[in-house]
Homo-oligomer: A and B are copies of this chain.
Amino acid sequence: MISSTVENYLKRIYLEQQTDPKALVPMGKLAAVMQVVPGTATAMVKTLADSGLLEYEPRGGIRLTAGGEQLALHVLRRHRIIELFLVNHLGLDWSEVHAEAETLEHAVSDKVLERMDTLLNHPRFDPHGDPIPPAKGRMPTESWIPLPAVPAGQRAQIAQLSDQDPAFLQFIERNALTPGTEIYVASYDPQADAVTLNVPDGSHITLGGAAAEKIMVRLGRVSQCGTRVP
């Protein structure tokens, strides 16, 4: 049996890998995101490499094998379906489900997960806009850009929020910037580090660069089936 510790490592490694698919994930990065001391990460990586779940280049970094990636995607699928189930069926707030899913993802059986998936009508995106890995088949590729990359005067649709901090997500919801929302970028001033956008309800809001960077958008008016619009 695969431990929840191993599942967490694989999932984090996969997510790090996605930020730069060609590069190896450095050990220091892994230790940081797993919140362990570097020596712990080295020890764990050695056992994962021995289990054939990743390739380990000492002093170089790591990369998941096909087997490791498959397991990671399985955990990610559980995580995201659980998040959506908690929001849609149990009425939890989208700002708190990430923490809940972090433990439930290791406890929910395949049978229960597929029941949730059915009840949710085979959703393609989780509450934060992240794609749900399909039970079989390749992971869909997303074409998101951070909000500050949108030229002023363009329309865009909010696709995903890259920060799970409840306070940030509550701010997003208060200002009606949840995934699926159509926005219009009124201005972007790199010097002022500020993006101003218009939202459908007619109001407008100005964000600093740090906040705007956490908002991933799709250019133009794209329809995104399966996304919840809270």
On A, residues with C-beta under 8 Å from B are 86, 89-92, 96, 100, 103-104, 106-109, 111-112, 115-116, 119
**Roughly how many angstroms separate A109 CA and B92 CA in the complex, as a whole number?**
12
Inter-chain contact B107/A103, CB cutoff 8 Å: yes
6 contacts between A and B (CB under 8 A): A86-B112, A89-B89, A90-B116, A92-B111, A92-B115, A100-B109
Chain B proximity of A100: nearest CB distance (Å): 6
**A89-B89, A90-B116, A115-B92 as given contacts; A107 in contact with B109, CB under 8 Å:** no
Chain B proximity of A118: nearest CB distance (Å): 9
Please pick, from B90, B103, B109, the residue contacting A115 in the complex, using a CB distance under 8 A: B90
Chain B proximity of A30: nearest CB distance (Å): 24
Inter-chain contact A108/B104, CB cutoff 8 Å: yes
- Which residues of B sit under 8 angstroms from A103, Cβ to Cβ? 107, 109
**Roughly how many angstroms separate A115 CA and B96 CA in the complex, as a whole number?**
14
Inter-chain contact B112/A100, CB cutoff 8 Å: yes
Closest to A104 in B: B107
- Which residues of B sit under 8 angstroms from A89, Cβ to Cβ? 89
